[in-house]
Chain A
Amino acid sequence: GAGVSQSPSNKVTEKGKDVELRCDPISGHTALYWYRQSLGQGLEFLIYFQGNSAPDKSGLPSDRFSAERTGGSVSTLTIQRTQQEDSAVYLCASSSGSGGRLAQYFGPGTRLLVL
């Protein structure tokens, strides 16, 4: 079946602009995660959605970052007033539930470059 998909695959933007990154999880997966992969910080958790529960936003680095998940499926990560330090690969993952024993399956990522 189809895996996690993300769009765009690459995004170049100017400092101060807003960007939206999209994630389509695996069909039927109730849990969705956003991570960021950067040279300096490695792989970092950003936010977690599980069903209709309030999201866990504990990893968002600043209030310029926000995310929503509509209809329990597609998610959008928005970065407002982008800064150069936001340049990274943004990864989305999904899993079939919230149990820690369940593997998370990753999309190919969106490579963001802020000039």
Chain B
Amino acid sequence: GNSVTQMEGPVTLSEEAFLTINCTYTATGYPSLFWYVQYPGEGLQLLLKATKADDKGSNKGFEATYRKETTSFHLEKGSVQVSDSAVYFCALIIYQGAQKLVFGQGTRLTINP
């Protein structure tokens, strides 16, 4: 089946620290990969995506590279800010299959000033 596994949270960092949130997947087809973010009290927002192997998605200083050989899509940011505190969800969708997002369990990130 299709599934997404994320790094266990919560994650707490100091401002300006380097961030990595690990995400690995299993898929029966060729997935597109996404990171969504949920800020406190808000809905899910698309952060970035990648639709084929070796693609790099980027937005707001965050990056993630689609690694087919390791079935991974790790989220990185070089210098986090307090405003990055949120819950981050890795997700996949299979192009040929049911058009549904399969989400990881989410990783809560807290950035301290």
Measured CB to CB, the residues of A under 8 A from B are: 31, 33, 35, 42-43, 45, 48, 50, 56, 58-59, 91, 93, 98-101, 103-109
**Cβ distance A54 to chain B, nearest Cβ, rounded Å:** 13
**Cβ distance A41 to chain B, nearest Cβ, rounded Å:** 10
Interface of chain A: mostly helix, strand, loop or mixed: strand
Contact of B96 with A by CB under 8 A: yes
The 8 A CB mask of B80-113 against A (1 = contact, 0 = none) is 0000000001010111111111111110000000
How many A-B residue pairs lie within 8 Å, measured between CB atoms? Answer: 60
B-chain residues with CB within 8 Å of residue A58 when the two chains form the complex: 98
Question: Are A33 and B100 also in contact (CB < 8 A) when A91-B43, A106-B44 are?
Answer: yes
**Cβ distance A29 to chain B, nearest Cβ, rounded Å:** 13
Q: Is the CB of B34 within 8 A of A100?
A: no
Tally of B interface residues using CB under 8 Å: 27
Q: Is the CB of A100 within 8 A of B43?
A: no
- Chain A, Cβ-Cβ closest to B104: A42
The 10 closest A-B pairs by CB, nearest first: A100-B95, A45-B100, A43-B103, A106-B44, A108-B43, A101-B51, A100-B93, A103-B46, A100-B32, A101-B32
Q: Other CB < 8 Å A-B pairs besides A45-B102, A109-B43, 7 of them? A: A43-B106, A91-B43, A100-B96, A100-B99, A103-B49, A106-B43, A107-B43
